Chain A
Amino acid sequence: MPDLGLEVLFKGKNFARLLEGLGVALRISLISVVISIVAGIGVGMLMTWKNPISRAITRCYLEIVRIMPQMVLLFIVFFGTTRVFGWNLSGEISAVIVFSFWGTAEMGDLVRGALISIPQHQYESAYALGLTGIQTYQYVVLPQTVRRLIPLSINLITRMIKTTSLILMIGVVEVLKVAQQIIEANRMSSPNAAFGLYLTVFLLYFLACWPFSLLARYLEKRWR
């Protein structure tokens, strides 16, 4: 069996440091997810409006987010704003801003999709029963929208968690950065540590995302 360099994990506080790094990644992604869901519901409703101006704006926003690599967005917010506006944003704040900007657009599109997938007749049969517009949303449209939305948005959450691996590029010490630091520190004593540590990071990401995937699958089945 080749030396995978796993022994480095148990040196000093290395493993605890990795978990701490994972904590940073999860914190950033979960804060961004919460912001994205709240703002995304608003943007999604805007997207269903027939108003051409709101349509054009949300359309542009979504396209920008889809086309721009997240890394470029991170660089613009972290490095760009410092020079141009004199803001001194920390890496974590920049990451939350970029991830929320990205997540809101994607979430908005999911909300839009879920909203327009409720047939017009559902609204009409609710109105015909005497429900007001608000009651129709509350008891008929939103419960169905949420059911369609939750599995999809959980997908987005796992994508966000995975994408936090980019933020080491703006100096945030998250799990991947910690792994690199450990590898660097031990490159003489355990030159094979790279394999073992990246494998561990891989497993940590997996363990962080897998429960969400299971939950999505469970909800999808339950709500059909």
Chain B
Amino acid sequence: MADTILEVRHLMKQFDDLMVLKDINLTVHEGEVIVIVGPSGCGKSTFLRCINALEDIQGGEIRLNGELVSKESKNLAVIRQKIGMVFQSYELFPHLNVLDNITLAPVKVQKRPKEEVREEALALLSRVGLSDKAESFPRQLSGGQKQRVAIVRALCMKPEILLFDEVTAALDPEMVREVLDVILRLADQGKTMLIVTHEMQFARAVADRVIFLEDGVIKEEGKPEQFFDAPQTERAKEFLKTFTFERKHKE
């Protein structure tokens, strides 16, 4: 078995009176791609945000390579460098061009030489088909292009794990593909990833393991074939049914 990268134990998260995550346990091994699915409001996004300590947690612990990830950690900024995150709304920095968006953190945070980072950024951009956009500003890009830049920006930090928070949810349907293809290729390269998505076909293709989250608990967990073809729990069956369509009164 590959080494454990991320370990989540008894995670609890509460917003005021609302318990969003109740006792979540998860172990992520190196090179593993885990897809988290579930109805909206089940806490998937909150779970990802907790892993990056963007939310404070009320119980349990999260460890990355044995190091505690918490809002209180003194070296939180250092730990976060090892966790790449891509958001639904891209969140590129609008005042910087594509290249500067990508190189900002490696140069200023990791103190790597500017030339080296620049070359790496250009190489990564060409891998996602955007070499001609290096000097463009985010406002000049389409949603799909912005999201690919956001992925490159996260990759350029050489993170040990990547978190994708519904990265295609804000995109026009015809742009979803170009972004998902990039993620599929990352999976082929053996990147460790946690992906929250509503794209079930994609989930099935990319996942090593699927996690079904509902009401703040992991209701079901398994290989994608098993989860999608033969879900064990009633709730997972119902949930998957919402993605298939049929007409009852066809003449």
Contact = CB atoms under 8 A, between A and B. Distances in A.
A121 B52 contact: no
Contacts of A130: 77-78, 80-81, 105, 109-110, 157
Interface stretch (A27-35, A138-146, A169-177): A138-146
Contact of A121 (B89, B104, B105): B89
B105 A129 contact: yes
Q: What does DSSP make chain A's interface, helix, strand, loop or mixed? A: helix
Interface residues of A, number: 19
Interface of B: 52, 54, 77-78, 80-81, 83-85, 87, 89, 91-95, 104-105, 108-110, 139, 150, 153-154, 157
24 contacts: A121-B87, A121-B89, A122-B91, A122-B93, A124-B91, A125-B85, A125-B87, A125-B91, A125-B93, A125-B150, A127-B52, A127-B80, A128-B80, A129-B109, A129-B153, A129-B154, A129-B157, A130-B80, A130-B110, A132-B77, A135-B108, A139-B93, A139-B108, A144-B93
A12 to B, nearest CB: 53
Contacts of A224: 139
Contacts of B89: 121
Q: What 7 A-B pairs have minimum CB-CB distances, sorted nearest first? A: A130-B81, A125-B91, A129-B105, A128-B85, A130-B80, A132-B77, A130-B109
A143 B84 CA distance: 24
B95 A143 contact: yes
B54 A128 contact: yes
A147 interface: yes
Given A124-B54, A224-B139, A129 B104 contact: yes
A130 B52 CA distance: 10
A122 B78 CA distance: 19
